[in-house]
Amino acid sequence: MTQQQWGPVARTDEQDVAVLVIDHPPVNASTAALRAGLLAGVAAAARDERVTAVVLIGAGRHFVSGSDLREFEAGTLPEPQLPDVIAAIERCPKPVVAALAGATLGGGFELALGCDGRIARAGGVVGFPEVTLGMIPGAGGTQRTLRLVTPSRALELATSGERLPVERARDEGLVDEVVVSSLRTEAIRFARALEGKRVLRDLPVRTQEPGAVEDSARRAIAAGRARPAVVAAVGAVLTGTAVPAARALAHERAEFNRLRTGREAAALRHLFFARTAVRKANRAEAPCELTHVGVVGAGTMGAGIARACAEAGIRVTVVDQDPAAARRAVESLGGTYLRMVSAGRLGAGEAGRRLELLSAGTDLSDFKDVDLAIEAVFEDTAAKVGVLRELESVTQRGTTLATNTSYLDVDELAAALDDPSRLVGTHFFNPAHRAAVLEIVRGARTSDAAMDMAFTVAHAMRKLPVVAGVCDGFIGNRVYSAYRRQCELMVEEGAAPEEIDSALEEFGFAMGPFAVADMAGLDIAWRMRQRRAPGRDPRERYPDVADRLCERGRLGQKTGDGWYHYEPGSRTPVPDRQVARLIDESRRRKGITPRAFTADEIVRRALMAMANESALLLDEGIADRAGDIDLMLTLAYGFPEHVGGVAFWARGQDPSVLEAEQRRLGEVTGQGFRSGRLELLTATAWPVAGSPG
Ligand code: NAD
């Protein structure tokens, strides 16, 4: 029975124990209202003479999953803040117990550490994901863990973002008990049994052999690539080992606020909100039955998609025009799993389960009972149309058909079917079993049922489902092509490929565009250029160095030469004089006098090309939201996450400077350039609800 209510916090006592129930759906994220409720509830329990102990517990599946990140957008956080609540709990003369359930992350875990005891329902997790959002714990997380585990371990927890199962957290002393039966009853029992207060900040820091924490700090900074948040987390833990708790807590809070209000954390929050918006918008209206997938084509992508299916627990049959190729793909995956098992990276049972799900079919008639058929044959309209028509006739009526095309017109492919509404694009990225995002292409006639099936497969594979409309290259490849083309134009004008790569890598891209091209192989884009040659406007600038490289058999890493030279067995790109000569020849043929580029000019021009194309995508309705483009670029194209994607980058620029750069980009690009409306990128959207849990 509720005795008192303070916003989302209700008090429902059990004799001498005050039970404060937190009910703030969907995930009990910490907001000002929740904290105010806790503050009032703890104060009331402290005053109440009948109360001997207090339990904090969530009403739903979670205790407190984390902080509501929308609050973090403001310069100052709304009152009361989390340290105020924790201070009140520590001051409360009666023991306060946190009853953890589900995900107790970030601020939620800090709140729990501010209590006198922690009891958890089996199956939950705890952890500090702050560094993954460009911040550090700010309410004593780094300091209170120091009282329970060694400084090295505290450092690991603060810098890795690790989600620790509560069972392990108990073994390490971070949680006192894990229970499987009623959490409320057990928490009350546990609270009654506590002998007084146990305030962690008053305990001494755990000690460790000399030099160990310094070693851990070096390792953590290297593993975190010296990102500011990782360095600050290390600093906070080390400070805690050297100065009294009050000073160390103040240092941690100041660092948290410094990072929270900085650009990197804002960029990472933007990606977090964008992801929440995608998950909310792109999900199956009606859950689809998905137990058997058919894949046509057992090449790089077909084999990868089959692997992704098996790893998602879905039965999959692979068919190739060359039956030996399908068999080889399945066998080679068997070999991969075997190696993983012997290296201890995969359990033998799980490997067996996956292999059981995988089979090589002999022809498409093996697909008669599939729930979804995906084609991943050559990138050629005629080849794909042939396969799709056959799939339409062998599968049950209404079965969703999907194409993995990278660039082809999904509507044109659909038009070849008796029922075009069955076709959807599922553009997997390579390697298909690992890529974090699935680009789902909605054709003009794609049915809702086919979209639902695509969402279902993305969900089963734990991939973020980003929806794109039909155009050349959809979202990802179209923006990337615009970027790569601009980089090739800069080469023509005087920049060396290695200068461009190093400028963009310095900016934060995982790899520069020329190193990426060599890794992917130059022949794919070459074939595409050849196909498109007849339709090309002769007045458009056409950078031709890549064609010259391909004509000389320089197809990238696989031939040992491409935009760079590669020593046998090495993947390290080495600038090559022959390439420089080919570039010089191209410039001479076109009458271009080379000029010098600064790294800043290279980066801004490349980003402007991406921003302009992204604005066009939004204007044409190909992408639903600017955030979708940013997610695609950061998850699948190596765009630096800490910059937040190209739309978020553009938002941070002076609009008049951007406009001037866009005009200049139009001038240098010449014929065929179209200006996107940049305001479509830079208009801010209100963040969607969510917490890092
Ligand atoms: P691939 O050349 O490695 O494999 C294609 C396979 O399809 C071959 O094994 C071939 O024998 C088979 N095949 C061709 N015609 C067939 C038919 N009529 N019936 C049955 N099998 C047939 O090609 P890939 O790199 O795996 O690309 C496949 C598709 O995925 C293409 O549309 C490509 O654009 C797209 N894609 C590729 C990548 C990538 O990085 N490679 C990424 C995303 C999308």
Of 336, 98, 125, the closest CA to residue 328 belongs to 336
- Ligand 1: atom nearest CA of 407 is 34
Residue 595 predicted with pLDDT over 80: yes
Give the residue carrying structure tokens 């935009």.
563
- Ligand 1: atom nearest CA of 298 is 9
Residue 614 CA to ligand 1 centre (angstroms): 27
Residue 528 predicted with pLDDT over 70: yes
> What local confidence, expressed as pLDDT, does residue 258 receive?
97
Residue 204 predicted with pLDDT over 50: yes
SS3 23: coil
Residue 375 CA to ligand 1 centre (angstroms): 8
- Among protein residues, the one with the nearest Cα to ligand 1's atom 31 is 379
> What local confidence, expressed as pLDDT, does residue 686 receive?
47
Find the helix packing angle between 599-619 and 476-493, rounded to 10°: 150
| Section 600-624 average pLDDT | 98
> What local confidence, expressed as pLDDT, does residue 3 receive?
84
| Neighbour count for residue 419 (Cβ, 10 Å) | 13
- Ligand 1: atom nearest CA of 428 is 43
Element (H, E) at 30: strand 29-30
CATH architecture of residue range(s) 3-261: Alpha-Beta Complex (3.90)
- Among protein residues, the one with the nearest Cα to ligand 1's atom 8 is 299
**Residue 253: both structure tokens together:** 């809070």
Residue 301 CA to ligand 1 centre (angstroms): 6
Residue 405 CA to ligand 1 centre (angstroms): 9
> What local confidence, expressed as pLDDT, does residue 683 receive?
82
- Among protein residues, the one with the nearest Cα to ligand 1's atom 39 is 430
- Among protein residues, the one with the nearest Cα to ligand 1's atom 15 is 377
Percentage of the chain beyond pLDDT 70 is 98
- Ligand 1: atom nearest CA of 383 is 18
Residue 505 predicted with pLDDT over 60: yes
- Among protein residues, the one with the nearest Cα to ligand 1's atom 44 is 406
Residue 432 CA to ligand 1 centre (angstroms): 13
3-state secondary structure string across 38-67? HHHHHHHHHHCCCCCEEEEEECCCCCCCEE
Element (H, E) at 426: strand 423-427
User: Given pLDDT bands bounded at 50, 70 and 90, which one contains residue 438?
Assistant: very high
Mind listing the pLDDT tens digit for each residue in 421-437? 999 999 999 999 999 99
Mind listing the pLDDT tens digit for each residue in 459-485? 999 999 999 999 999 999 999 999 999
- Among protein residues, the one with the nearest Cα to ligand 1's atom 43 is 429
Q: In this structure, are strands 4-6 and 9-11 parallel, antiparallel, or unpaired?
A: antiparallel
CA distance 60 to 609: 47
**Would you say 16 and 53 are in contact if contact means Cβ atoms under 8 Å apart?**
yes
> What local confidence, expressed as pLDDT, does residue 693 receive?
36
- Among protein residues, the one with the nearest Cα to ligand 1's atom 37 is 301
CA distance 188 to 166: 19
> What local confidence, expressed as pLDDT, does residue 1 receive?
60
Q: Which of 295, 301, 363 to probe ligand 1 with, by most ligand atoms within 8 A of CB?
A: 301
Q: Which of 377, 412, 437, 557 to probe ligand 1 with, by most ligand atoms within 8 A of CB?
A: 377
CA distance 139 to 518: 47
SS3 427: strand
Mind listing the pLDDT tens digit for each residue in 10-50? 999 999 999 999 999 999 999 999 999 999 999 999 999 99
Q: Which residues contact 322 (CB under 8 A, 6 or more apart)?
A: 298
User: Given pLDDT bands bounded at 50, 70 and 90, which one contains residue 687?
Assistant: low
Q: What's CA 396's distance to the chain center, in Å?
A: 36
pTM reported for the whole predicted model: 0.93
| Section 591-598 average pLDDT | 98
Residue 404 CA to ligand 1 centre (angstroms): 8
- Among protein residues, the one with the nearest Cα to ligand 1's atom 28 is 376
- 566-573: long-range contacts, CB 8 A cutoff, minimum separation 24: 566/518, 571/519, 573/498, 573/501, 573/514, 573/515, 573/518
Residue 302 CA to ligand 1 centre (angstroms): 7
> What local confidence, expressed as pLDDT, does residue 2 receive?
65
| Section 655-659 average pLDDT | 96
Of 131, 267, 281, 265, the closest CA to residue 634 belongs to 267
Residue 691 predicted with pLDDT over 90: no
- Ligand 1: atom nearest CA of 303 is 26
Residue 634 CA to ligand 1 centre (angstroms): 25
Where would I find the H helices in 75-145? 82-91, 107-113, 141-145
Residues of the chain with CATH 3.40.50.720: 292-468
Instruction: Calculate the alpha carbon distances from 382 to 386, 388, 416, 576, 647 in Å.
Output: 6, 10, 10, 39, 36
Mind listing the pLDDT tens digit for each residue in 388-432? 999 999 999 999 999 999 999 999 999 999 999 999 999 999 999
Mind listing the pLDDT tens digit for each residue in 230-261? 999 999 999 999 999 999 999 999 999 999 99
SS3 177: strand
- Among protein residues, the one with the nearest Cα to ligand 1's atom 9 is 299
- Ligand 1: atom nearest CA of 384 is 18
Of 24, 484, 514, the closest CA to residue 6 belongs to 24
> What local confidence, expressed as pLDDT, does residue 689 receive?
46
Helix count and strand count (H, E) for the chain: 28, 20
> What local confidence, expressed as pLDDT, does residue 21 receive?
98
Mind listing the pLDDT tens digit for each residue in 332-360? 999 999 999 999 999 999 999 999 999 99
Angle at 198 between CA 196 and CA 204, to 5 degrees: 145
In the CATH scheme, what is the code of domain 292-468? 3.40.50.720
Mind listing the pLDDT tens digit for each residue in 123-157? 999 999 999 999 999 999 999 999 999 999 999 99
> What local confidence, expressed as pLDDT, does residue 633 receive?
98
Residues of the chain with CATH 3.90.226.10: 3-261
Residues assigned a catalytic role: 110, 130
- Among protein residues, the one with the nearest Cα to ligand 1's atom 3 is 299
**Residue 542: both structure tokens together:** 């056409």
Q: Which of 406, 427, 477 to probe ligand 1 with, by most ligand atoms within 8 A of CB?
A: 406
Residue 61 CA to ligand 1 centre (angstroms): 44
Q: Which residues form ligand 1's pocket by a CB distance below 6 Å?
A: 296-302, 320-322, 325, 376-379, 383, 386-387, 404-406, 427-428, 430
> What local confidence, expressed as pLDDT, does residue 86 receive?
98
Residue 562 CA to ligand 1 centre (angstroms): 22
Q: Which of 295, 321, 519 to probe ligand 1 with, by most ligand atoms within 8 A of CB?
A: 321
- Ligand 1: atom nearest CA of 300 is 26
Mind listing the pLDDT tens digit for each residue in 263-285? 999 999 999 999 999 999 999 98
